[in-house]
Structure 1
């Protein structure tokens, strides 16, 4: 069981605000030792609560103006692991979820323009053996994106 206390929550809030914040700055803000912050972060990583500190890209600012959410229906659900591996090989597929309902998988795709999106959907995704159908919804912009607020 993963248990986090108030110090862990405060550390995570500081890292959420700025993942590059030095441990010593976090320690000073919380009134604890630099060693304690380092040990807490190491434990959060070891427990899998904190899975990494990495940049968050704004796809639109690097030329990917189109986004879509696509539901994928598989011919056979037991093919999902193989199909997921093939989806991972498509750089424009940035997220993939198992879901319930009409689809087996739900993915997020980013593209430079409508022609690029068409090529990703028709030439790459629809050609993966075992995919029976895709259903896409074009996104018009992200209202917000965040981690769980602790």
Structure 2
């Protein structure tokens, strides 16, 4: 299990995965050794992995969400097959009108068209696939709530306080 200090370490590394353990410790009130020890424990448990993330728009890619309905085959089998595609970054099973939600990255519309028509829709069990192209990301809360969120000022609020 992870505690609040572990979450604070993870949040610091989400902002800058190259931040030193000393810097992380100073920002959350722990020693460098304590941060290192906690980080190693989290890493051993598979709770944390430090990687580089790209911004799709800035690297010239399209970010697309796919909603998929599955019929006549277990959802997990379709999910595994779709997960093998290099463009697919995220696969989740869900309840509601769709069985799977996927996040994919494509070079352009032609690439997206090829992915949908030639590969995704040809997977056994895929009954329907719908694409939602991301135009702008308004919020991406991959951090624990409250770490980086800046509350809206009174002039920016839509609803009254």
Using structure 2 for the length normalisation, give the TM-score: 0.78
What is the 5 A alignment of 1:1-150? Answer: 2-5=1-4, 7-48=5-46, 50-64=47-61, 66-78=62-74, 80-147=75-142, 148-149=144-145
Please state which structure has a larger fraction of its residues in helix.
1
Deviations 1:11-58 (A, max 9, x none): 23322221111112223444533221111112233444x321111111
Contact 2:64–2:103 under 8 Å retained in 1: yes
Measured after TM superposition, the shift of residue 73 of structure 1 is 0.8
Deviations 1:73-124 (A, max 9, x none): 111352x222222212211111111111111101112212111111110001
How many equivalent residue pairs?
145
Contact 1:45–1:52 under 8 Å retained in 2: yes
**What residue ranges of structure 1 are gaps of 5+ in the alignment?**
none
Using structure 1 for the length normalisation, give the TM-score: 0.83
* Aligned residues: CA RMSD: 2.0
**What residue ranges of structure 2 are gaps of 5+ in the alignment?**
147-161
Q: For 1:32 and 1:24, how far apart are their aligned partners in 2?
A: 9
